[in-house]
Amino acid sequence: MNLRPLHDRVVVKRLEEERTTPGGIVIPDTAAEKPIRGEVVAVGSGKRLDNGDVRPLDIKVGDKVLFGKFSGTEVKVGEEDVLVMREDDVMAVIEG
């Protein structure tokens, strides 16, 4: 991917959600919501502080993250749809 985010931004690729409920009901594409989980594919250099220092990001490439439904900006890079968002828009890192 030839996309390098600036400053405190990250590029996230959405992860597909389960299409079957625990009871075995299959959810059609028209009723499914956009996934709120994703994998970080690129990170910026860090957040610039008021005193001019750069604070590195807590998120790294390969992290699986949770973010808000309407967070970030959708961008198409080649054949892939990705989200570009600020580190502040990421709610949590999924561990394990």
Distance CA 53, CA 4 (A): 20
pTM of the model: 0.78
The secondary structure element, H or E, covering residue 90 is strand 90-94
Domain housing 48: 7-15+32-91
Tell me the pLDDT tens digit for each residue of 52-89: 888 888 899 999 999 988 888 898 888 888 999 999 88
**pLDDT range class, residue 31, cuts 50, 70, 90:** low
Question: What's the CATH number where 38 sits?
Answer: 2.30.33.40
Interval 46-55: pLDDT, tens? 888 889 888 8
Residue 55 forms part of a structural domain = yes
